[in-house]
């Protein structure tokens, strides 16, 4: 494997916000910001810069109503409905992400990039903690720029010509939605999106690996059996510990992550406790 490149995450200085990296690969907490208040354009510009620099940003001790969370999300993009579940009755563009005390499977509990089976997958996702367990329930994030950059030249060349077939119906991730779909009286929608295995970020120009265990089923023009060995290698490679960060939630924590260059995995280690989060998904472009 190519030696791990150290991300240049400290290249920008900030005048209005306090940015504190939490790991070498990605992730930073932002302080000195009250998200319940209207923020000036120069503050939003610095938050967006930190988002692009660190790939996932976190805020602590926020007190947000659903409309306030949505208003903050709208400063970064266009909120879109989640394709599998309805949103909150009072705020349909916010989806409740819930695990109840008696449930053993958590929603989306596998490494994935949100809804990569759509023709235009989301640019970003925003998650706000309403109720958390007394321990556990952390979320892991993985840097897919570095996952791509640490592959050999030969494999990068091979992957550059491949298209991934992404589906909403892979068994591993479908199981994580069963409780919520059953509760809503809804059925799983089978959606399929074809995207380049290596995509170029439309804002940074950097290339990232764009496959994930949750949704990528095979390569276009390849059989499942032919695709499996290479996909298994990539699924393992892209979430090595040195590519990741881990976030411990508290009530009032908010995370905003870039779906174009990260994966995430909510850890399912809090059986017997309730966890309630509110998510906003921001519309993206067609991967290229």
pLDDT of residue 238: 98
Single out the catalytic residue among 54, 180, 215, 279: 279
Q: pLDDT tens track of the chain, all 288 residues? A: 444 544 444 457 899 999 999 999 999 999 999 999 999 999 999 999 999 999 999 999 999 999 999 999 999 999 999 887 889 999 999 999 999 999 999 988 999 999 999 999 999 999 999 999 999 999 999 999 999 999 999 999 999 999 999 999 886 655 555 555 556 555 667 899 999 999 999 999 999 999 999 999 999 999 999 999 999 999 999 999 999 999 999 999 999 999 999 999 999 999 999 999 999 999 999 999
Domain of residue 138: give its range. Answer: 18-282
Single out the catalytic residue among 112, 177, 215, 275: 112
pLDDT of residue 1: 46
Beta strands in the chain (DSSP E): 18-21, 28-31, 56-59, 79-80, 94-99, 124-131, 139-143, 163-167, 192-196, 198-200, 207-209, 216-219, 244-247, 254-258, 262-266, 275-282
Can you give 63-82 as a three-state secondary structure string?
CCCHHHHHHHHCCCCCEECC
Tell me if 1 is assigned to some domain. Answer: no
pLDDT of residue 9: 47
In whole angstroms, give the CA distance from residue 218 to residue 225: 9
CATH at residue 140: 3.60.130.10
Tell me if 3 is assigned to some domain. Answer: no
Neighbours of 48 (CB within 10 A): 16
Tell me if 92 is assigned to some domain. Answer: yes
Tell me if 151 is assigned to some domain. Answer: yes
Annotated active-site residue 112? The verdict is: yes
Tell me if 184 is assigned to some domain. Answer: yes
pLDDT of residue 82: 87
pTM of the entire predicted model = 0.92
- What's the structural domain count of the chain? 1
Annotated active-site residue 218? The verdict is: no
Annotated active-site residue 279? The verdict is: yes
Tell me if 74 is assigned to some domain. Answer: yes
Strand partners, 170: none
* CA atoms within a 13 Å half-sphere pointing along the CA-CB vector of 158: 10
The pairing of beta strand 139-143 with beta strand 163-167 = unpaired
* CA atoms within a 13 Å half-sphere pointing along the CA-CB vector of 276: 8
Hey, is 155 helix, strand or coil? helix
Tell me if 32 is assigned to some domain. Answer: yes
Single out the catalytic residue among 180, 201, 215, 264: 264
pLDDT of residue 188: 66
- Whether the CB-CB separation of 39 and 70 falls below 8 Å is answered with no
Tell me if 2 is assigned to some domain. Answer: no
Single out the catalytic residue among 53, 54, 114, 177: 114
């Amino acid at each position: 494997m190519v030696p791990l490149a150290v991300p240049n995450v400290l290249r920008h200085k900030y005048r209005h916000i306090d940015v504190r990296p939490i790991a070498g690969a990605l992730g930073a907490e932002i302080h000195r910001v009250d998200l319940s208040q209207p923020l000036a354009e120069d503050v939003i510009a610095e938050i967006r810069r930190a988002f692009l620099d660190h790939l996932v940003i976190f805020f602590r001790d926020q007190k947000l109503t659903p409309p306030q969370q949505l208003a903050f999300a709208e400063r970064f993009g266009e909120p879109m409905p989640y394709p599998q579940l309805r949103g909150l009755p009072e705020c349909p563009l916010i989806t409740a992400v819930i695990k109840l005390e008696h449930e053993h499977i958590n929603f989306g509990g596998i490494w994935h990039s949100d809804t990569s089976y759509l023709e235009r997958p989301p640019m970003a996702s925003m998650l706000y903690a309403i109720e958390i367990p007394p321990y556990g329930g952390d979320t892991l994030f993985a840097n897919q720029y570095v996952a791509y950059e640490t592959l050999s030249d030969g494999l990068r060349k091979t992957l550059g010509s491949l298209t991934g077939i992404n589906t909403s119906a892979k068994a591993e991730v479908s199981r994580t939605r069963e409780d919520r779909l059953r509760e809503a009286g809804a059925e799983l929608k089978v959606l399929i999106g074809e995207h380049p295995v290596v995509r170029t970020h439309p804002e940074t120009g950097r290339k990232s690996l764009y496959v994930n265990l949750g949704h990528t089923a095979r390569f276009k023009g390849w059989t499942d059996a032919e695709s499996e060995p290479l996909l298994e290698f990539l699924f393992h490679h892209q979430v090595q510990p040195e590519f990741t960060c881990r976030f411990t939630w508290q009530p009032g924590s908010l995370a905003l992550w870039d779906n174009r260059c990260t994966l995430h995995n909510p850890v399912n280690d809090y059986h017997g406790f309730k966890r309630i989060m509110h998510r906003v998904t921001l519309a993206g472009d067609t991967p290229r």
